[in-house]
A and B are shown apart, each in its own frame.
Chain A
């Protein structure tokens, strides 16, 4: 954390949903990918993390739901420490954290409906999942979400029959099925064409705002980040070097984040 160009501190007073302190991740001992990241994510709106490839954006996001095991530091979701959890405690915490992936990560051979319902696997007992006897309330919500993401007529189609944009919509519905306290999105639009990317982000913004779910999103496209995020976090070399609202992200910040300027 050498030269943090924090433009404005995260709005004080507003309770943050997620608080990360001194997060370090070393895949190889002595070679940190994250070098002590501090980040507070507000209880609503989209927080976009930008930065060059390999700078640890994905690692940061995966440390939150512990798909990647952090080396040091603290991550608190609504005050609950996530780093020490294991077993059942970890699963209960993960239920509250939705995630959307770059490659959608749907179960290809299952129907759209079952993919959406699988967002409830942390809640329903195994036998119900096995017999596909999900509670009616879950099924109702799944239909509601399928309507919301614009795929009501695709419920019984197999996931592998969908286009990329449709798959990501299913991915969003699955994540919201958890009724999460926070949503993580790891490059959700990087595999999509520009128009579909905008549509998916539009949808993500609208639905999470309606449900009051804060979002952390890794994104390569700076313009999209500025357009949809309420706050931008710029990372470089495993550290946060910009943290502020999109209006304050200027050329010299981008130069510091991505290095060079020929690309701009």
Chain B
């Protein structure tokens, strides 16, 4: 400490502290994650055999299809497409309503602050995951086998596919509720039902209606394809038109679906904005 060396090293050096956001181990593991991602993409591209000739004339085919579709066969809209469209909306609506009768109990069981029995939480979550892991077309195939072809199979397919989605979001909303109000009501001698009704429901209400509308919106789109496997709705009309190469009719159906989806989106955003 007494004599300064000639090369004038910084006297503050021992006091200077270094700061880095990540430790070396973290930095390496981040690089590894990127590497794995890149490798996965490369592997995917190599393993799906893209036939170059098909890729080459795809624009041509597309143009040909569009030409065949034009002009859309508007006359075909009423009554065939119209009625199928209405049926599609009914399937979506009934399916959404029915899904809630299953999703609400499951969500209550899955929410760890509502149901404190851990095995039940896990079981309910398992149920929700199972519902989500099966695509609605697959659900529809199952229910067509059970109920025969028609709208009933569609309603059940939509309901069972939605349970997982709605139940998960609902249970998350339940878990985010603050404990204080419930505690206050419990302290005043309220029953479990009253605690749920006045302490929990007001807290999840906006989320509940938001989820319901959002899922209905999705279900309108999903139920449009259910007809492809015979579960009713506009998909059936679409399937027929494609099978008979009636491309003008296909265009009509596609436009009708587009219009309904846009309309549903519009309505849902309007209502959601008012709810929250």
Chains A and B bind each other: yes
A129: B residues at CB distance < 8 A:
194, 197-198
Report A79 CB to chain B, min CB distance, Å.
Answer: 19
CB distance from B198 to the nearest CB of A (A): 5
Q: Considering only CB atoms, which chain B residue lies closest to A106 in the complex?
A: B181
A174 pairs with B180, CB closer than 8 A: no
Q: Which B153-201 residues have C-beta < 8 A from chain A?
A: 180-181, 183-191, 193-195, 197-199
B193 with A67: CB separation less than 8 A: no
Assembled-state Cα–Cα distance A175/B188 (Å): 7
Does A105 contact B181, Cβ atoms closer than 8 Å? yes
Other-chain residue from B183, B189, B195, B202 in contact with A105 (beta carbon distance below 8 A): B183
Interface of chain B: mostly helix, strand, loop or mixed: helix
Q: Beta-carbon contacts of A54-98 to B below 8 Å, as 1s and 0s? A: 000000000001010000000000000000000000011111111
Select from chain B the residue with minimum beta-carbon distance to A132.
B198
Q: How many A-B residue pairs have CB under 8 A?
A: 80
By the criterion CB–CB under 8 Å, are B199 and A91 in contact?
no
Contact status A126-B199, CB under 8 Å: no
- A105/B194 in contact, CB under 8 A: no
Q: Which of A103, A114, A126 contacts B194 (CB 8 A)?
A: A126
Residues on A with C-beta less than 8 A from B191 are 91, 121-122, 126
A171–B191 CA distance with the chains assembled, in angstroms:
19
Q: Determine if B135 is an interface residue (Cβ-Cβ < 8 Å).
A: no
Q: State how many residues of chain B have any CB contact under 8 Å with chain A.
A: 20
* B202 surroundings in chain A (CB, below 8 A): 107-110
- Say yes or no: is B205 at the interface (Cβ < 8 Å to chain A): yes
Q: How far is the CA of A133 from the CA of B183 in the complex (A)?
A: 23
B189 touches A91 (CB 8 A): yes
Partner of A101, one of B184, B189, B199: B184
Q: Does B203 contact A (CB under 8 A)?
A: yes
Known: A99-B188, A119-B188. A107 touches B197 (CB 8 A): no
On whether the beta carbons of A121 and B194 are closer than 8 Å, the reply is: yes
Given contacts A91-B190, A92-B189, A97-B187, 6 further A-B contacts (CB under 8 A): A65-B187, A94-B189, A96-B189, A98-B188, A118-B190, A121-B188
Binding site for A on B (CB under 8 A): 180-181, 183-191, 193-195, 197-199, 202-203, 205
- A residues with a Cβ closer than 8 A to B are 65, 67, 91-99, 101, 103-110, 114, 118-119, 121-123, 126, 129-130, 171, 174-175, 178
* Listed A/B pairs (16) with beta-carbon separation below 8 Å: A94-B186, A101-B180, A101-B184, A105-B180, A105-B183, A107-B202, A107-B203, A118-B198, A119-B188, A121-B195, A122-B191, A122-B194, A123-B189, A126-B193, A174-B184, A178-B188
Query: Across chains A and B, which 6 residue pairs bring their CB atoms closest together, nearest first?
Result: A122-B189, A95-B189, A121-B190, A105-B180, A94-B189, A105-B184
